[in-house]
Amino acid sequence: MNARQLSMSDIDGVFVVLPFAKGVSAKTYDFDDNGEQHLMDYKRLIGLVNESAFKGYIGIEFEGKEGDEAEGIRKTKALIEKYL
């Protein structure tokens, strides 16, 4: 499966279901020099989590091609915490 950028309709859909979700996955691929994940707008997505009634878990999935899995997980965690 190829990664694609999220559209506004995807993001709006996430917001609608968040209050009912028990958990969400924070999937990342590769990061830029600023620690951002260029395929998904994590600032906006975590903002939706903050604005919603979501009280579940955030799981981390790293599927990047650069760096090792442990480093990708640490970078994903840092990215999430940056916007929580």
pLDDT digits 0-9 by tens, 13-56: 777 888 899 999 999 999 999 999 988 889 988 998 999 889 99
Question: Domain limits of the chain?
Answer: 8-83
Please tell me the pTM assigned to this model. Answer: 0.81
Asked if 14 and 48 count as a contact pair (C-beta separation under 8 A), the reply is: yes
Amino acid letter for position 68: D
Asked if 45 and 17 count as a contact pair (C-beta separation under 8 A), the reply is: no
